[in-house]
Amino acid sequence: MLALLFCSGALAACEGAGGVSEDSGAPSEQTHKRFDGATLRILGKNPDHGPSEAARQWIGDEETKGNLIGEVAGARRDWLLEEYGITIQYTPCDAEEYYITEEVNRQMLSGLNEYDLYVDGQYAMSQIARDGYLKDLRSLPYIDLNNEWYDRYCIENLSVGGKVHYVAGDALITDDENVYCILFNKDLYEEQGYAGMFDGRSLYDLVDDGDWTYDAMLRICKESYSDRNGNGRTDPEDGFGLIIDNGCVQVLMAGGGYEMSSKNEDDFPELTVFNEKAASLFAQVDRITNEKAFVLNSDRIGTTSPYGDVEKNFGDGLTTFYMTKLNSLSELRKYPDLRFGVLPVPKASAAQEVYCNSAAPLHFSAIGIPLNIAGEELEMTCAALEALGWYGREYLTPAYVETTLKLKRVEAPEDAAMIDLILNNRVFDAATVYNWGGMLSFFNQFALTQSRDFASAWETVANKTMAEMQETIDKFTK
């Protein structure tokens, strides 16, 4: 059979993509039986509202020349059929529906049983779980959430009372794409002599030394504004220190180690939205996100295509830093003259032990199993999910991270190391994922108004937030 070989940390396809060797230790060679003639029916994102890999990660794409992800996913599809007798069928939700939740509601309320797996962003999956439409993955045959191909951070942070209704991991690649990072313009950093602020150290050195902080980024940003078009006013054609959107307030708060919720000893969430430490951290973040002189906020510029405009600004080499998700690495390849690097979200201070990179709740994908499947169909689904996760860990994730993210989208080994750091230090917060009391966008308000009264804003929604959190707990424990 064909095999994927690792060479100097990069994935090389030898003769083909994704075959499994005889001594691979794959799940099918251990305890799983065959399910000849079965079809694994997956409901997921419509390509109009999701990444191109939403379907490709399941069914492959051998027709697009040079698309390693499509080749490896296609090999996984064929392997599942050969080893288990299971065919994969992917169905996108209606193009008019951003999330799969409406189709799930139709299925459940009509007593239909047309899908075996649901896949969408964590926010949508949390709503489906809250409505009681997903099985507890810890109670199912074959599935062992201790296996390395499941995302333990997702499990630990988003379980409720020991129950896990959806999970991310190596069966997917549309989770890794949707983690926040900072991109920086290498030419501007070098030409402007910013390294002189840090004793000649590069930004990669700052990260490695634990000194990549709010203050370090702010020092550079303050020196970065340039009226590039000479019209005497700030606009998207100028050079800025940093590009953000309203949601980046929350991302920077999380980067400083902030959590809107934590877990008690019984694995139930508790709210930690406002306290003295949170207020102090917010004051630090606010210095960055509400600085109009050298920070460009895409939600403020008032153009018809704000996200495209700020991406073009960075792509044209005008701005030093761009806070975005890893999926922007592919979009920026259309700017061949741009030399950019990848960094984690900065820490609040050098004393903070680890970098924290938020997973985007609306887009970071997760998988759940519908409540209404049972018997042989349920057994087949569980076996398939384990097998897809194992294969993903062995072949699909390396093909994506090592080859697509690292070799095709960045230029230096330091950037590859930063991607590893980002993916190994991603964070999840149940309060934002479940959106209790509107916590998903709670901090957005501070990027749009003159109000800085964090305490009063929290007091206004505290009772609603606590009630909705308790409602979720009650539904999961009844």
307-323: per-residue pLDDT in tens?
889 999 999 999 999 99
**Spatial separation of the C-alpha atoms in residues 65 and 71, rounded to whole Å:** 9
Among candidate residues 464, 401, 475, the one with its CA nearest the CA of residue 436: 464
pLDDT-wise least confident of 150-154, 198-202, 260-264, 298-302: 298-302
For 228-235, what is the mean pLDDT?
87
- Write out pLDDT tens, residues 250-281: 999 999 999 999 999 999 999 999 999 999 99
Torsion of CA 278, 283, 284, 288, to 10 degrees: 130
At 32-64, the pLDDT tens digits run 689 999 999 999 998 888 777 889 999 998 665
What is the mean pLDDT of the segment spanning 115-135?
97
Q: Mean pLDDT, the chain, as a whole number?
A: 90
Q: What are the DSSP calls for 355-420, one per residue?
A: --EEB-TTTSEEEE-BTT--HHHHHHHHHHHHHHHHHIIIIIHHIIIIIIIIIIT-SSHHHHHHHH
Query: What is the spatial distance between Cα 176 and Cα 188, in angstroms, rounded to a whole number?
Result: 28
Q: Is the pLDDT of residue 369 over 90?
A: yes
pLDDT at 10: 29
Model confidence at 21: pLDDT above 70? no
Which of 98-101's residues contact partners 24+ apart within 8 Å by CB, and which partners? 98/49, 99/123, 99/124, 99/127, 100/43, 100/44, 100/45, 100/124, 100/128, 101/127, 101/128
In this prediction, residue 64 carries a pLDDT of 58
DSSP annotation of 134 reads B
Residue 26: the pLDDT is 57
Q: What is the pLDDT of residue 331?
A: 86
Does the pLDDT of residue 67 top 80, yes or no?
no
pLDDT digits (tens, 9 = 90+) for 186-228: 999 999 999 999 999 999 999 999 999 999 999 999 999 999 9
Percent of the chain with pLDDT over 70: 91
- Is residue 12 predicted with pLDDT exceeding 50? no
pLDDT band at 404; cut points 50, 70, 90: confident
- Give me 184's structure tokens: 């920086």
Task: Spell out the alpha helix ranges (H) of 256-368.
Answer: 276-289, 306-315, 328-331
- Alpha-carbon gap, residue 280 to 20, rounded angstroms: 53
Distance between CA atoms of residues 34 and 383, nearest Å: 9
Alpha helices in 42-85 (DSSP H): 53-59, 68-84
Residues in the chain: 478
pTM for the complete prediction?
0.90
Q: How far apart are CA 143 and CA 140, in angstroms?
A: 6
82-108 confidence digits (pLDDT tens): 999 999 999 999 988 999 999 999 999
Is the model's pLDDT at 66 over the cut of 90?
no
Q: Tell me, what amino acid is at 14? A: C
The amino acid that residue 74 corresponds to is G
CA distances for 87 relative to 58, 78, 96, 122, angstroms? 11, 8, 27, 26
Q: At 156, is the secondary structure helix, strand, or coil?
A: helix
3-state SS, 200-220, equals CCCHHHHHHCCCCEHHHHHHH
Q: Does pLDDT of 450 surpass 90?
A: no
Least confident interval from 77-81, 98-102, 276-280, 404-408 = 404-408
Q: What is the pLDDT of residue 62?
A: 66
